Amino acid sequence: MTPIENDEILELFLEESLDNIGGLETDFLDIEEAGEDIDDDLVNKVFRAIHSIKGGAGFVGLDNIKELAHKMENMLNLVRNRELVPTGDIISVLLTGTDRLSHLLDNAVNSNEIEISDILEQLDNSLTNDGDIPSVASDETISIKIPNSDEALSLPAMDLNQYKKGGNEIYYATFDMVRDIERKGRNYLAFVKELEDTGTIIEQYLNPTAVGTLEDMGDEIILPMSVIFATIVGPDIIDSIMELPPERIFQLDENNVLHPLGSEDATTATAPATPVPVAESEPSPEPEAAAPAPPAPKKAASKTKSPAGKSSKAPTKTPNVQAGSLRVNITVLDELMTLAGELVLTRNQLIQSIGSNDKDQIDKASQRVDLVTSEIQAAIMNTRMQPIGTVFNKFKRIVHDMSKDLNKEIDLEIEGKDVELDKTIIESIADPMTHLVRNSVDHGIEMPDIRRQAGKPLPAHVHLNAYHEAGQVIIEIKDDGGGIDPKKIATKLIEKGLNTENEVKEMSDSELIKMILKPGFSLAKEVTDISGRGVGMDVVNSNLTKLGGTIDIDSVVGVGTTIRVKLPLTLAIIPSLIAASGNERFTIPQVNLVELVRIPPEQVKSRIEKVDNASVIRLRNELLPLLRLNEVLGMPKMFVGPSGELQEDKREIIHDRRSKSVDDFLTEEQLLEQEAEKRLQEEGRRSSSESAVNIIVVNAGDINYGIVVDSLLDSEEIVVKPLGYHLRDVRAYAGATILGDGKSALILDIVGISNIMSLRSVKDNAKDKIIAQKVASNKHAQSLLIVRNAATEFFAIPLGLISRIEKIHTSEIETPGGQLSMKYRGANLLLFKIEDTANVGPMEVVDWPYVIVFQQGGREVGIIVSGIVDAIDISVEIDNKTFRQHGILGSARIMEQTTMLLDLYGLVTPEPEAAPVKDEMLQTDSVQQPSSNAQSYILVVEDSEFFRSHFKSVLNDAGWEILEAEDGVEGLKVFEKHSADISLIVTDIEMPNMDGVEMCRQLRLNPENAELPILACTSVAGELAEERGFEAGLDEYLIKLDREQLVERIQHYLTNGRKSD
Partner 1 sequence: MKKAQNTTAKELTIFQVANISCGLDIEDVQEINKHFDITKAFGSPEYVRGIMNLRGQIVTVIDLRQKFGMPMEEINENMRIVIVESQGENIGLLVDRIDDIVIADPNLIEPPPSNVSGVTGEYFTGILKTEKSLITILDIHNLLAL
Residues that bind partner 1 (CB under 8 A): 583-585, 630, 632-635, 657-658, 661, 721-727, 729-730, 732-733, 736-738, 742-746
Q: Minimal distance in Å, beta carbon 658 to partner 1? A: 8
Name the residue nearer to partner 1 (CB basis): 451 or 637.
637
Q: Are 546 and 570 in contact (CB under 8 A)?
A: no
- What interhelical angle do 537-546 and 423-439 show, nearest 10? 160
Put the strands of the sheet holding 169-176 in their side by side order. Answer: 199-206, 224-231, 169-176, 249-252, 258-260
Question: Quick check: bond before 134 cis, omega within 30?
Answer: no
Name the residue nearer to partner 1 (CB basis): 340 or 738.
738
How many Å from the N-terminal Cα to the C-terminal Cα in the chain?
73
DSSP annotation of 934 reads H
Name the residue nearer to partner 1 (CB basis): 4 or 369.
369
Name the residue nearer to partner 1 (CB basis): 391 or 709.
709
CA separation (Å) from 685 to 508, 630, 641? 37, 17, 17
Name the residue nearer to partner 1 (CB basis): 394 or 637.
637
Side chain identity, residue 167:
G
Q: Which residues pair with 868 in a beta bridge?
A: 787
Name the residue nearer to partner 1 (CB basis): 458 or 654.
654
Q: Minimal distance in Å, beta carbon 583 to partner 1? A: 8
Q: How far apart, in whole angstroms, are the C-alpha atoms of residue 969 and residue 991?
A: 10
Name the residue nearer to partner 1 (CB basis): 504 or 588.
588
Helix ranges, 419-475 (H): 423-439, 448-453
Classify residue 744 as exposed, middle or buried by CB count within 10 Å of its CB (0-12, 13-18, 19+): exposed
Side chain identity, residue 341:
G
Q: Which residues pair with 199 in a beta bridge?
A: 231
Q: How far apart, in whole angstroms, are the C-alpha atoms of residue 157 and residue 148?
A: 23
Q: Minimal distance in Å, beta carbon 742 to partner 1? A: 6
Q: How far apart, in whole angstroms, are the C-alpha atoms of residue 959 and residue 922?
A: 6
Name the residue nearer to partner 1 (CB basis): 740 or 1022.
740
Side chain identity, residue 373:
T
Name the residue nearer to partner 1 (CB basis): 719 or 1010.
719
Q: Minimal distance in Å, beta carbon 629 to partner 1? A: 9
Q: Minimal distance in Å, beta carbon 77 to partner 1? A: 48
Maximum distance among all Cα pairs of the chain, rounded to whole angstroms: 131
Q: Minimal distance in Å, beta carbon 243 to partner 1? A: 52
DSSP annotation of 268 reads S
Q: Which residues pair with 787 in a beta bridge?
A: 795, 868
Q: Minimal distance in Å, beta carbon 651 to partner 1? A: 13
Q: Are 1037 and 1003 in contact (CB under 8 A)?
A: no
Q: Minimal distance in Å, beta carbon 544 to partner 1? A: 24
Name the residue nearer to partner 1 (CB basis): 148 or 744.
744
Q: Minimal distance in Å, beta carbon 745 to partner 1? A: 6
Q: How far apart, in whole angstroms, are the C-alpha atoms of residue 415 and residue 417?
A: 6
Q: How far apart, in whole angstroms, are the C-alpha atoms of residue 434 and residue 412?
A: 13
CA 772 to chain centre: 36
Q: Minimal distance in Å, beta carbon 634 to partner 1? A: 5
Name the residue nearer to partner 1 (CB basis): 651 or 881.
651
CA angle centred on 352, ends 346 and 354, rounded to 5°: 100
Q: Minimal distance in Å, beta carbon 746 to partner 1? A: 6
CA 238 to chain centre: 51
Could you write out the DSSP letters of every residue in 565-610? EEEES-SSEEEEEEEEETTEEEEEEGGGEEEEEEE-HHHHHHHEEE
Q: How far apart, in whole angstroms, are the C-alpha atoms of residue 836 and residue 396?
A: 65
Name the residue nearer to partner 1 (CB basis): 493 or 580.
580
Q: Minimal distance in Å, beta carbon 743 to partner 1? A: 5
Q: Minimal distance in Å, beta carbon 646 to partner 1? A: 14
Name the residue nearer to partner 1 (CB basis): 705 or 947.
705
Name the residue nearer to partner 1 (CB basis): 49 or 750.
750
Helix ranges, 608-641 (H): 629-632
CA separation (Å) from 492 to 37, 512, 534, 761, 769? 48, 10, 16, 19, 22
Q: Minimal distance in Å, beta carbon 321 to partner 1? A: 23
Name the residue nearer to partner 1 (CB basis): 237 or 730.
730
Q: Minimal distance in Å, beta carbon 636 to partner 1? A: 9
Q: How far apart, in whole angstroms, are the C-alpha atoms of residue 998 and residue 508?
A: 9
Q: Are 865 and 850 in contact (CB under 8 A)?
A: yes
Q: Are 352 and 361 in contact (CB under 8 A)?
A: yes
Query: What's the full length of the chain, in residues?
Result: 1061
